Chain A
């Protein structure tokens, strides 16, 4: 037996130079291989599981910390709390008779999010069309990475720009009484959302194959008609996903809105007046958390704000996952 295995080992040595491992393993070697295989597997599984578990733990923790805000007293009291949070716009947690009205904060978040989308979506779409269908290949190879650098600039740098440069400019040239307002935050957030919107929708448009475009040209369509009537409709799910990803970026952003929006906790009146200061959910959490004693009513209220925010972004994320899944299908040829 030993002779035989030595023979095989010798043969394989000749066949492939440097291959010295015997084909037959001793029981201990066999056990070692078994152990290291499974141990490695377990370690990799643990590492992967950490991030999955982290998501669940975040949900669990936020819900656990926000629940006492509603459910510490009787059921009617809880209902009154929920009603106050979603319909009252007075956020005075430190007052002697505290009020926890979250409406102005929710509206503030929606304001800057929608404001930034109104600015960023058309710009992003046009840029994506240009990059996918019009720009020469070399230009595209330069432009895309440069645009993606926009996403790498730290948000505090944007915030600094918003306060020191953009706010005084708004006051001087547009005559606003205050430069840190909803418009300022929307513009800066739009710049921050642009790289996401451009690069994801450009990918979606590029995924629409050359055949589709050529078929359109063959039917006599012009380049503009092809883009507007063929490419964009075909890539619509990817474009929507891009918009939603940009929206999540804008909604979850904290530092920029904390610096640029002015943080005045009220709903602008008249409602379209973007030159007024507003306050978002993220800025409220960032601003209040430092001084809030743990396990106080205010602390639970802030977690409730966080939970509301989490639910917003979570549902947006689900929608974008669904839409991106559709893009993958399209690019694989199925529809």
Chain B
């Protein structure tokens, strides 16, 4: 009697498992273009997808999980286009090639990471070295920089964001940030913290600038579309779409990856606060 019971348990388990696998397999078979990756490139991806779903009558899903996750998704074949705010790391490229994926970069726009402070702060200009010293804890008070006697609250993006990586590489030259630096997990949150904290310094993408925060000149250069596009501003970077190989000509993915060249694409990029690659 006991054994009979056990057999039914096993049988039912097998049936359940088979049913689950079948349902997963059918769910994955749906044909659609999937984007995954950087929260910075995400708004561009969203806006492009919106236009494309109307004009090409296809379904495009845009996930914003972060540059690293997006690239990992491309390598694992979980998405067709990875959005990234940095170039591939050598180890990612190696892993991709090992899995038979050949990542091709499409530079869609330029993004400037602007150093921002509270509007009441009289400091207008810093050098890259000074910003570096602030984030490494060597300068802790605004009076050392010509400002009021007020402790500096340094605010950084979380270490898994592409914005952090660019800042970390270009400003800090890959040195460790001080333990006292605060971390926030999104551009809007960094913006909100600086907006409400008189002693704060933070960094956000060009698209997040407005009158509630003050953007600083770095090494004498103001972050503008011009200085970001030509690369003279210290913390500027290209934004990428990565595909597996160059997309098949005429496919939806191909059209999507060259959409930034069109006038409509450029105006979308500009509307989202980024700088178009094309000089028009």
Write out, one digit per residue, whether chain B residues 163-182 have a CB within 8 A of any chain A CB (1) or not (0): 00000100000101001111
A179 and B197 within 8 A (CB): yes
Report how far A264 CA is from B183 CA in the complex, Å: 7
B9 and A45 within 8 A (CB): yes
With an 8 A cutoff between CB atoms, is A237 at the interface? no
Write out, one digit per residue, whether chain A residues 169-194 have a CB within 8 A of any chain B CB (1) or not (0): 00100000111100000000000000
A171 and B13 within 8 A (CB): no
* CB neighbours of B176 from chain A (8 A): 92, 95
With an 8 A cutoff between CB atoms, is A163 at the interface? yes
Shortest Cβ distance from B165 into A: residue: A291
Write out, one digit per residue, whether chain B residues 1-37 have a CB within 8 A of any chain A CB (1) or not (0): 0001100110111001000000000000000000000
Interface size class of chain B, counting residues whose CB lies under 8 Å from the partner chain: 35 or more
Shortest Cβ distance from A47 into B: residue: B16
With an 8 A cutoff between CB atoms, is A118 at the interface? no
Report how far A259 CA is from B185 CA in the complex, Å: 8
For chain B residues 170-203, which have a beta carbon within 8 Å of chain A?
A: 174, 176, 179-185, 189, 192-193, 196-200
Q: Choose among A89, A276, A293 the residue with the greatest number of B CB atoms under 10 Å from its CB.
A: A293
In angstroms, how far is the closest chain A Cβ from the Cβ of B235? 18
Report how far A221 CA is from B183 CA in the complex, Å: 55
Shortest Cβ distance from A267 into B: residue: B179
Q: Of A45, A90, A93, A180, which one neighbours B182 at CB under 8 angstroms?
A: A180
Q: A167-B193, A171-B196 are in contact. Are A263 and B5 (CB under 8 A)?
A: no
Report how far A290 CA is from B66 CA in the complex, Å: 7
A177 and B8 within 8 A (CB): no
B189 and A163 within 8 A (CB): yes
Which of B99-107, B151-159, B257-265 contacts the other chain?
A: B151-159
In angstroms, how far is the closest chain B Cβ from the Cβ of A116? 20
Q: Of B159, B179, B185, B192, which one neighbours A89 at CB under 8 angstroms?
A: B179
A42 and B183 within 8 A (CB): no
Shortest Cβ distance from A38 into B: residue: B8
* CB neighbours of A41 from chain B (8 A): 5, 8
* CB neighbours of B198 from chain A (8 A): 171
A262 and B182 within 8 A (CB): yes
Q: A287-B159, A293-B91 are in contact. Are A46 and B182 (CB under 8 A)?
A: no
Report how far A276 CA is from B168 CA in the complex, Å: 23
B68 and A291 within 8 A (CB): yes
B196 and A291 within 8 A (CB): no
Interchain residue pairs with CB less than 8 A apart (18): A38-B4, A42-B8, A42-B11, A42-B12, A95-B176, A104-B179, A163-B192, A177-B150, A178-B153, A178-B200, A264-B181, A264-B183, A266-B179, A286-B185, A290-B66, A291-B160, A293-B68, A293-B72
Given contacts A46-B9, A292-B68, A292-B160, 14 further A-B contacts (CB under 8 A): A42-B11, A42-B12, A92-B176, A171-B198, A180-B193, A262-B183, A264-B181, A276-B180, A277-B180, A288-B158, A288-B159, A290-B66, A291-B67, A291-B69
- Which B residues fall within an 8 A CB radius of A? 4-5, 8-9, 11-13, 16, 65-69, 72, 91-92, 150-151, 153, 158-161, 168, 174, 176, 179-185, 189, 192-193, 196-200
- Which A residues fall within an 8 A CB radius of B? 38-39, 41-43, 45-46, 89-90, 92-96, 104, 163-164, 167-168, 171, 177-180, 258-259, 262-266, 276-277, 279, 286-294
